[in-house]
C-alpha cells in the first residue's frame, strides 16, 4: 500500500483512543474544501514511507498507541489496503478506516473479513448537491450501498459532514433523513482554504463563518440518528476554560500536550513524515 505521510499521534481521529494516522495518496473526488489537497492527485505525490517502514515503526509504539487510522486521499483505492490492515491488526492495534463511501465492494470485503473496528464515512452533501461539492460526478447508488453496509455491519461507525458555506440547514436535514437510524452523525467545521500553488478556486475563498442555525439543526437531527455531535467548531469561552482546567490536571503524557491535541486537526499540511 502506498503511504503519503503519517501523523504519529492523534487524540481526535479515533474516538477515545490514541492513534497514528496513515494517509494514502490519491482520491477519486475533487472536493473544493479538501484540506488534503496536496495528496489527492496520487500521481504527483512522492511517498516518503514504505509499508514495511510504517509497520516497523508501529512495532516500536506498543503501549503508546491504541489504534491506526487509515485516511487519505481515499484509502479504498489502494490495492494493498487489506494486507496493510492485516499487518496492523497482527500488531494488536485497532483499525479505523476513513472513506468517502464510493467503493462499496471494497468496504464490504473489509467488513466481511472482520478487518475493521471503526469506520468514518463522509456524506458530502444532499443528493442534488453532491456532484457540485465533490467536483466530479458521484454514483449515488454506491453511496447508498456503503451507508447500508455500515448500518448493518455490526461495527462502530460514524457518518460525518463538513459544514461548508454552500450547505444549508435543509441540506443537513436531508442528509439526516438519508442516514436515519445511524449510530452517529458528526457535523464538522469548515476551515477556509489557503492557496498552495494552484489556480485560484473561488470555492476556497468562502468564509467559514459560524452558522448561527447550527444548534437548531442539531436539535432537529437528533430524532433521526442515535447521536448527533459537533467537531471542530469554536468552543465557548466558559467551556474552553473548564476543558483546559481538566487537561492541566491530567498526568503526562496526556496533560502536557493536551492543549496541542485540542487545537490539532489532522491535515496533510500538518502531517509529520514518518
Q: Domains of the chain: which residue ranges?
A: 5-232
Query: In the β-sheet with 94-99, what is the strand arrangement from edge to edge?
Result: 5-10, 19-23, 67-71, 94-99, 118-122, 156-163, 185-189, 228-231
pLDDT tens digits, 6-40: 999 999 999 999 999 999 999 999 988 887 877 77
The predicted-structure confidence for 47-86, as pLDDT tens digits, reads as follows 778 999 999 999 999 999 999 999 999 999 999 999 999 9
Question: 510504517: which residue's cell?
Answer: 54
Q: Which residue has the higher pLDDT, 205 or 6?
A: 6
The predicted model scores a pTM of 0.80
Tell me how far apart the alpha carbons of residues 28 and 78 are, in angstroms, rounded to a whole number: 11
Q: What is the rounded average pLDDT for all residues in the chain?
A: 82
> What does the pLDDT average to over 238-246?
45
Q: Of residues 116 and 268, which shows the higher confidence score?
A: 116
Predicted local distance difference test score (pLDDT) of residue 51: 93
Say if residues 31 and 193 touch (Cβ distance below 8 Å).
Answer: no
The CATH number of 5-232, from 3.40.1500.10, 3.30.420.10, 2.60.40.10, 3.20.20.70, is 3.20.20.70
Amino acid at each position: 500500500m502506498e503511504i503519503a505521510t503519517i501523523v504519529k499521534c492523534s487524540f481526535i481521529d479515533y474516538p477515545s483512543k490514541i492513534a497514528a494516522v496513515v494517509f494514502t495518496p490519491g482520491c477519486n473526488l475533487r472536493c473544493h474544501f479538501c484540506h488534503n489537497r496536496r495528496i489527492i492527485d496520487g500521481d504527483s505525490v512522492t511517498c516518503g514511507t514504505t509499508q514495511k517502514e510504517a509497520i516497523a515503526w508501529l512495532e516500536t509504539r506498543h503501549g503508546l498507541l491504541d489504534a491506526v487510522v487509515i485516511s487519505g486521499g481515499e484509502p479504498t483505492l489502494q490495492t494493498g489496503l487489506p494486507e496493510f490492515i492485516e499487518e496492523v491488526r497482527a500488531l494488536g492495534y485497532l483499525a479505523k478506516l476513513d472513506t468517502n463511501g464510493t467503493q462499496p465492494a471494497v468496504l464490504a470485503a473489509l467488513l466481511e473479513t472482520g478487518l475493521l473496528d471503526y469506520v468514518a464515512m463522509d456524506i458530502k452533501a444532499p443528493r442534488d448537491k453532491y456532484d457540485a461539492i465533490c467536483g466530479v460526478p458521484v454514483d449515488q447508488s454506491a453511496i447508498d450501498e456503503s451507508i447500508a453496509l455500515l448500518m448493518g455491519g455490526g461495527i462502530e461507525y460514524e457518518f460525518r459532514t463538513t459544514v461548508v458555506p454552500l450547505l444549508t440547514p435543509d441540506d443537513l436535514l436531508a442528509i439526516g433523513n438519508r442516514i436515519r437510524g445511524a449510530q452517529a452523525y458528526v457535523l464538522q467545521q469548515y476551515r477556509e482554504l489557503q492557496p498552495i500553488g494552484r489556480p485560484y478556486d473561488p470555492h476556497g475563498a468562502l468564509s467559514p463563518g459560524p452558522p448561527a442555525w447550527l444548534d437548531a439543526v442539531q436539535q432537529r437531527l437528533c430524532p433521526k440518528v442515535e447521536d448527533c455531535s459537533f467537531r471542530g467548531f469554536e468552543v465557548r469561552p466558559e467551556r474552553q476554560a473548564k476543558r483546559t482546567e481538566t487537561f492541566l490536571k491530567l498526568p503526562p503524557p496526556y496533560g502536557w500536550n493536551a492543549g496541542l491535541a485540542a487545537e490539532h486537526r489532522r491535515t496533510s499540511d500538518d502531517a509529520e513524515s514518518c
